[in-house]
Every structure is written in structure tokens, then in C-alpha cells.
Amino acid sequence: GSSMTNEKCYLTGKFARVGLGTRHIDYNGRLCMSSAAAAYTKAFGLDRAPIPMTDIPLADCMLVVGANVAECFPVAMQWLWRARDRGARLIVIDPRETPTARTADLWLPVRPGTDIAVLNAMLRQVIHDGLADEAYIAARTVGWEGVRATVEPYTPEMAERIAGVPAERIVAAARLYGRSATSLIMHARGIEHSTHGVNNVLACINLALSRGQVGKPGGGTIMLTGQGNGQGGREMGQKANQLPGYRHIDVLEERQYIADVWGIPEPELPQEGAAATEQVRLMADGTIKSCLVICSNLMVSLPDNAVVQRALQHLDPLVVIDFFMSETAELADVVLPGSVWCEDEGTTTNLEGRVVKINQAALPPGEARRDWEILSDLARRLGRGQFFDYANPRQIFDELRLASRGGVSDYYGITWEKIDAQGGVFWPCPTEDHPGTPRLFEERFGHPDGRAKMFALRYEPPAEEPSDAYPFRLTTGRVVYHYLSGTQTRRLGFLNSQAPEPWVEIHPMMAERLGIRDHEMVRVRTPRASMELQALVVPTIRPDTLFIPFHYGHSGAANLLTNPAVEPACKIPEYKVCAATVERLGAAPVNGAASPCENYTPTSDPKMFPYAVGETKTPASQEAKRF
């Protein structure tokens, strides 16, 4: 899990490979933003946000793609407000009018799963308006000719047909973005939780590169990283294909380096294992016989829940290390009470790539123990104690510094003292006298030739498209009140009273067509399962789209419904779109009946587009802050 400190993430990877000797270890970032990580590695040769958050106010235009910034990134939101106070323009691409979209100059309510069409059309418009930065493109990128040719057919009208966003709005967005001296694209899970997640992110990067923005203060792209340690968690070697320092598990020299740090012969170091989404299948068919889960609640977070439950019940034993009795712990043979971040010392790496220090504020209560002590003791019982002889987390950190040395994410020059003295240190930081690297790519990108790569991308539909039986597109995600699988927030009085159970958001027009009233119980069905929940009739969602928050367990888990299809390379699930239908409880199923979405053209719907293009809302900060 990436909610753990770097020290714990590092130890988990080492425990699997050295303590247990298994190649099957993976982490929950696979479910989070592994597509963005893959895209940044492909395009830039390095997977980290290129600029710090303090750069955001330098932007003249912010394009937010598939991110609910206000509800999910309140810290980053402060910087967004500062940019707005300076008059920066804001464009939001999201099927829902989120609190951030509500304050935007332009909202593009995209049909879930179709962003590439809009992004390609915006790039085409930038080119046609003569706004592409040819000098930058020639000097700093490769692949431009292919990109230019591929986006040419993506007229605004074609994008409108695919994505359901009016052509004039796409043109307006391209011009607002393209004419700004400094422009910043921020993206999150709305485009990354997709079977085309890698390409979706690459389409954002193409656009930013075409305007010469990447490597410039306040410009380029930022991936809004999820989880407490979403960035550090993917650099420490918890990933099926990766060793600490972002080293590759299939490159001999990199294996040899880590084997030396760990004091084992290289051939003993296991090879690449299965991704989390594949492990489920291997558990179900008996290939994987037992499992240790630390810091993840798979019964809520993995897609197509019924299959996950069957897979976990196959295991002997299933062991869970958690500080709360999660839905996954309920199925376990053994539950070991572990530690919350504030019961331990260590570091995390935030969404900027800044390594920060966490200090212990409390002791683990009762029989609970620190996670690193539990793992070290387990290793001892397995006869591998000599590799896990740590007196405290600082010793683990010092070892991980060494393990990351010379790697892409080089922490070698970072010490706990330096973190305190500098208010955090940005990796790469190769030596103790190096100050760290807040801004990347100012001179060169991470690839050997120093250039960024652009990729020619075509729109391809999501794995599951609406049909007569399932006419809606269902998307899932977050609300401000709950955190991830909800284990930590569903027990907090105020948060729970605000959102005690899940609901489905539906547009008033569709609710009316289906005879559904606000707060009435409905049944949502997908080809996998059905669930009963309250309808929340809201004008802030596309009429052909439904939304369910995923923070709940058991019969309230949105992941009963979701599609287990994954992106072919990085294996991230398609949480953000599948086909669904909704009906009043008690109403007969309407299989085959006329689709409620039929004959509906959102682009000509005044309710969806209450204000005209050009009626911008900037500066809006005072009004906006009231959301």
C-alpha cells in the first residue's frame, strides 16, 4: 500500500523478495495511477510531477482533466485559488460539474471514456491557429510529425460526436489554452482509470509539449498523485516489475546492484511477478495459494468484487496487517494489528516528489505493533532474520538511500536532518551536498537523448459501451467526506453522518423519464451485478452518465458493478466507465425497452450548458471560495 511510509513500502518489497522469496508482490498504486506513471516514463523518461505546487500560481491557464481537485486535493486547491486570484483561466474536462468545474471559465462535460477525442481536437485547433511552438518542438521533442498527422482528422465536430461536448466549446478551450503564455494541465484518475489510461495521459502531454510548456516554471503537466504516499510508494520496489530507486527487475545490472545491497546472490532475487489485478485470477485458479495483505482493502477497492471475494476465500492462509477490521480483514485467517502513520517515524514523498518527514505522535495501542517490526519478526520466524536486523526506521531509511543510489529516483543525498532543515527535499538528490531538484526537465528530459517523446494516439472506445439493456455509462470515484475504501472515515461521526451510505447520481431529465424521485431507492445493474441504493437527482452530471462513490463495503460496494477490464500494459482497471442501467425498486426490469438515453443530444441541451462560451467567470475567486 502507498499509504505507508517509504520505509515500510521499501521493507514490504524486500520482505516479499528476500523474506518469503516470492515474485508475486504488487501494490495498490496499480489501481490508482499506474497508467500516469507509465505515461510519464514513456514520454519524459521519468515518472514524477515536473514542477512543485508553488509553481501553480505562475500559470495563466489551468486545464484540469478528470480531477475533482477541490474535493480530493484540498492542499493543491489552495495553489489553484492563488492562480485564480492572479486572474488565471480555468478549464475543466469532467462528466460531472464538480465544485471546481462550477467555478471554471469553461466546463467540457465529456462522455466518460472519450477524452482523447477532445484532447486531440484541441491539439488540432492549436496547430490550425498557428499556436504550436515549432522551435521548442524541433529542439526538445521527437515524434511530432506522426502526432500532427494523427490529430488532423479530429475536427471539433468529430470530437463532438464522440465525446458529446459542443464543438464550439472545444475550440474555445483550445484557444483559451493555446493563447496563454504559461499553461498547466492537471490530470488525475478521471482519465487514468481507463483501459486507455496511458494514452489519455500521453494526449495531455502531447498538448503541453506542442505549446512548449514542459520544463518551464508554472507550465506543462502535473499528475495529481493520490494516497498519502502515492509517489514514494511506487519508487520503493513494491511493484511487481520494480526494485528500489525505480530500478527494473528484468535488467541484470540493476538486479545485481540491489542483490548486493541486500546481501543475496543475484539469482536468488525473484523475477517479475503478477500485477495486483492479475493476482486475483491466480488466486482464483489456485496458482497463488496464500497471501499477506498490508495496507490495502481489496474487498472494497478491486473491480468486480464477487470474483475478488471468491479468490480471497480460496487462500490458505490469508493474512492481513491493518489497524482496523477492514472488509478484507474480515475474510482473513489471521489479522495482525499494525500501525497508523502517526504511530511511527519515517518519510513520505508527496505529489511534487518532495520527501517529507513524519514524526511519531502516539504509541500503537493495545496489542498493535509497528508494521516494520511485524515484518521483521515474520522474517525472523522464516529464518531470514539476518536480512531484517533493524533497530529503528532510520536504519531502514539509510538502507533505502543506498538502494536508490544511482537509480531514477535517487534518494541517496537525502537525510532526515536535511528534510527538517529544508522543509522537504525533492528527488533526485544524488549526494549529501545536493539541494534536491524541485523542477525537472528545464534543460533535458529523462531519456538518453534528452528529448521528450510524443505519441500518435487515436480514440478507441472503452472496453464496455452502452447497449439497449445497459444504456448509461457508469463512472465511480470519490466524495469529500470519505477516504478511499472508507475504513478510516466510515467510523468518524461527522464524516459518516454526511455520507453514511452510497448513492447514485442521476440527472433530473433521466430521473423524470424513469419515474425516479430524489432520495428514492433504485437498482443499478451492470453485466456483472446489481446493487440497491439511493438516487441523488442532480443537475451536475451528464444525462447519459451515472456516478457512484466507491468508499463503501459489502452490498454498498460500487466495485460489485465495475468492469475488471485493464489497460494492456500497466494493468490499471477501468473504474471510470462501464455500461449500466438504473430502475426504480419495484419497477419491472426494462430489458429491451426503449432506452431513456435515446434521442437525447446533450450538446443542444440548455440545462447542460447554462452559459455561453465567452461569458467567462474570471476572476472568480471570491465567489468560487463559497462552494
Ligand X SMILES: Nc1nc2c(c(=O)[nH]1)N[C@H]1C(S)=C(S)[C@@H](COP(=O)(O)OP(=O)(O)OC[C@H]3O[C@@H](n4cnc5c(=O)[nH]c(N)nc54)[C@H](O)[C@@H]3O)O[C@H]1N2
User: What residues line the site for ligand X (CB under 6 A)?
Assistant: 1, 3-4, 28, 31-32, 65-68, 71-72, 93-96, 98, 110, 112-113, 115, 188-191, 193, 226-227, 294-298, 301, 321-324, 326, 338, 341, 371, 475-478, 480, 482-485, 487-488, 550, 558-559, 562, 575-577
Shortest Cβ 412–ligand X spacing (Å): 25
* Shorter beta-carbon distance to Mo ion: residue 1 or 543: 1
* Shorter beta-carbon distance to ligand X: residue 428 or 502: 502
* Shorter beta-carbon distance to Mo ion: residue 485 or 581: 485
Pairing relationship of beta strands 334-337 and 318-322 according to DSSP bridges:
parallel
**Contact at 8 Å (CB) between 563 and 573?**
yes
* Shorter beta-carbon distance to ligand X: residue 146 or 539: 539
Q: How far is CA 122 from CA 2, 101, 162, in A?
A: 34, 18, 14
**Contact at 8 Å (CB) between 34 and 397?**
no
Choose the stretch contacting Mo ion; rule: CB under 5 A; options: 52-60, 151-159, 221-229, 403-411.
221-229
* Shorter beta-carbon distance to ligand X: residue 261 or 572: 572
Measured CA to CA, the distance from residue 566 to residue 31 in angstroms comes to: 10
Shortest Cβ 189–Mo ion spacing (Å): 6
Shortest Cβ 50–Mo ion spacing (Å): 20
Shortest Cβ 327–ligand X spacing (Å): 8
Closest CA to 103 of 560, 450, 602, 618: 618
Shortest Cβ 525–Mo ion spacing (Å): 26
Residue list 27-46, contact with Mo ion (CB under 5 A): 32
Helical residues (DSSP H) of 294-437, grouped into ranges: 298-301, 305-313, 371-381, 393-404, 416-422
- What is the layout of strands, in order, in the sheet containing 89-93? 106-108, 89-93, 61-65, 183-187, 220-223
Shortest Cβ 287–Mo ion spacing (Å): 27
Which residue has the CB atom at the shortest distance from ligand X? 226
Q: Please report, to the nearest 10 degrees, the dihedral formed by the alpha carbons of residues 528, 519, 68, 238 taken in order.
A: -40
Query: Residue 113 binds what, of Mo ion, ligand X, none (CB under 5 to 8 Å, by partner type)?
Result: ligand X
Measured CA to CA, the distance from residue 239 to residue 142 in angstroms comes to: 29
Grid cell for residue 433: 551536498
Shortest Cβ 462–ligand X spacing (Å): 8
Q: Which of 1, 13, 226, 245 binds Mo ion (CB under 5 A)?
A: 226
Measured CA to CA, the distance from residue 494 to residue 108 in angstroms comes to: 33
* Shorter beta-carbon distance to ligand X: residue 66 or 353: 66
Measured CA to CA, the distance from residue 555 to residue 550 in angstroms comes to: 12
Shortest Cβ 60–ligand X spacing (Å): 22
Query: Residue 15 binds what, of ligand X, Mo ion, none (CB under 5 to 8 Å, by partner type)?
Result: none
Choose the stretch contacting Mo ion; rule: CB under 5 A; options: 26-34, 109-117, 199-207, 592-600.
26-34
E strand intervals along 238-350: 242-243, 247-248, 291-294, 318-322, 334-337, 346-349
Shortest Cβ 616–ligand X spacing (Å): 20
Closest CA to 39 of 321, 514, 457: 457
* Shorter beta-carbon distance to ligand X: residue 407 or 466: 466
Query: Residue 583 binds what, of ligand X, Mo ion, none (CB under 5 to 8 Å, by partner type)?
Result: none
Q: How many residues are present in the chain?
A: 627
Q: Does 502 bind Mo ion (CB under 5 A)?
A: no
Query: Residue 562 binds what, of Mo ion, ligand X, none (CB under 5 to 8 Å, by partner type)?
Result: ligand X
Q: 486-494 long-range CB contacts below 8 Å, 24 or more apart?
A: 486/300, 486/551, 486/552, 486/553, 487/297, 487/300, 487/322, 487/324, 487/326, 487/327, 488/324, 489/551, 490/551, 490/552, 491/324
Query: Residue 198 binds what, of ligand X, Mo ion, none (CB under 5 to 8 Å, by partner type)?
Result: none
* Shorter beta-carbon distance to ligand X: residue 140 or 482: 482
How does DSSP classify residue 562? S
How does DSSP classify residue 48? S
Give me the residues that bind Mo ion (CB under 5 A), please.
32, 226
